[in-house]
Amino acid sequence: MARGGRKRKDLSEPDEVKDSSESADRPSKRSRAKTLKTITVSFGKSKSKLTQSINLIRNTIRKKQKLAKYQMHDKQSATTTARHGDLEIRKSTSPDTMHAEMVAIKEMLDKGAWRLINGRIKTAQGHDVELENFSTDACHCGFCTIMLRVLGLPLGRPTAGNHILAGNDNYPLPTEIKYDPLVVVRVARSNLTDNAAVALREILSSFVPYKDDDWYLDLGNGTAEFNNGRVTIAQAKESGRVRISLEDFFSKKNSDEVNMLWKEIFGAIRTTNNQFAKSRDGKREARQEAESEEKKRKTARKPKPSH
Ligand SMILES: [Zn+2]
């Protein structure tokens, strides 16, 4: 840490003159870009909370639906159909890009048919999206399974399978979702947003090179989160602490750090997917799911009696 004049890490000024001149003089270690890349995000004390949260989200799904065995091959493609009123879109995916589910969501958001409200996907009228209006012709991979649940979307056949590329934490999200702090809170805090400000401060503390008592999180609504409670923004300014702005952190200018945050989340999804898929519960559940699917198929195939 720099001595004397403490180096401010003000996220509202990512292109600080001081930083760019420093990087010109000493391009090796001092530039902000370098600093960002060398931060090791470990989520600190909230790392275990992240793992717990994802396990809990997965277990909540399992209370209603058994998790299927994920059998998509690298070159296989899935198609998601999304509907709203007269609008119907069908999106297929090639495996090395955004998964079909996410492409369909992105399109519905772009067209204004669906909206992201409080970290969840709703119709333009504010209703939940039903399964008949959001379906995929294949199993959801383990990443989509967690993300769809978090977003409040219906699940067709959920799994705990790691898609081969998503398994490398390469799982592109629609921009609106990626930069929504409440989606992050939902993934990292068991789909609850009750104490979103506290959770966000805790999550972002991995990126902030100050002691807990030396900075505040500007929530952008006239209030700020200290490490021990909510204060007005005026009180926060008077405190002399360093300001970290929530809005600036979750901005495209700060994509390096937002990407790191998601990489950490995807790492936790991947690890817990693996653990569950390999566990006795996971194997048994996949077997049972396959049997009941087969039964459903057979029943569907039976010709209806003509009399
Ligand atoms: Zn997927």
Which pLDDT tens digit goes with each residue over 117-163? Answer: 999 999 999 999 999 999 999 999 999 999 999 999 999 999 999 87
Beta-carbon count within 10 A of 222 CB: 9
Ligand 1 geometric centre to CA of 163 (Å): 7
Ligand 1 geometric centre to CA of 101 (Å): 7
Beta-carbon count within 10 A of 228 CB: 9
pLDDT of residue 174: 96
Q: Using an 8 Å Cβ cutoff, are 148 and 119 in contact?
A: no
Ligand 1 geometric centre to CA of 188 (Å): 19
Ligand 1 geometric centre to CA of 79 (Å): 11
Distance CA 101, CA 144 (A): 7
Among the ranges 134-138, 164-168, 297-301, which has the highest mean pLDDT value?
Answer: 134-138
Ligand 1 geometric centre to CA of 240 (Å): 45
Res 234 pLDDT > 90? yes
Beta-carbon count within 10 A of 150 CB: 24
Distance CA 133, CA 291 (A): 26
Ligand 1 geometric centre to CA of 116 (Å): 19
pLDDT of residue 227: 85
Residues with CB under 5 A from ligand 1 (ion): 99, 141, 144
Ligand 1 geometric centre to CA of 155 (Å): 12
Beta-carbon count within 10 A of 220 CB: 14
Distance CA 256, CA 253 (A): 8
Tell me how far apart the terminal alpha carbons of the chain are, to the nearest angstrom: 83
Distance CA 289, CA 65 (A): 9
Ligand 1 geometric centre to CA of 49 (Å): 23
Distance CA 119, CA 182 (A): 5
Q: Helix, strand, or coil here: 41? A: coil
The residue written with tokens 């926060």 in the block is: 236
Distance CA 149, CA 152 (A): 5
Enter the pTM of the model. 0.83
Least confident piece of the model among 29-38, 69-78, 265-274, 287-296: 29-38
Confidence of residue 201 (pLDDT cuts 50, 70, 90): very high
Among 212, 217, 205, smallest CA distance to 246 is for 217
pLDDT of residue 169: 72
pLDDT of residue 155: 97
Res 4 pLDDT > 50? no
- How would you class 149 by CB atoms within 10 Å of its CB: exposed for 0-12, middle for 13-18, buried for 19 or more? buried
Distance CA 160, CA 68 (A): 8
Ligand 1 geometric centre to CA of 248 (Å): 29
Per-chain mean pLDDT for the chain: 84
pLDDT in tens, 20-35: 333 333 434 334 433 4
Q: Using an 8 Å Cβ cutoff, are 245 and 12 in contact?
A: yes
Ligand 1 geometric centre to CA of 299 (Å): 28
Ligand 1 geometric centre to CA of 137 (Å): 12
Q: Helix, strand, or coil here: 130? A: coil
Q: Using an 8 Å Cβ cutoff, are 156 and 136 in contact?
A: yes
Ligand 1 geometric centre to CA of 97 (Å): 10
Ligand 1 geometric centre to CA of 89 (Å): 18
What would the two tokens of residue 79 be? Answer: 């198609």
Ligand 1 geometric centre to CA of 286 (Å): 17
Higher-confidence residue: 54 or 76? 54
Amino acid making up residue 203: I
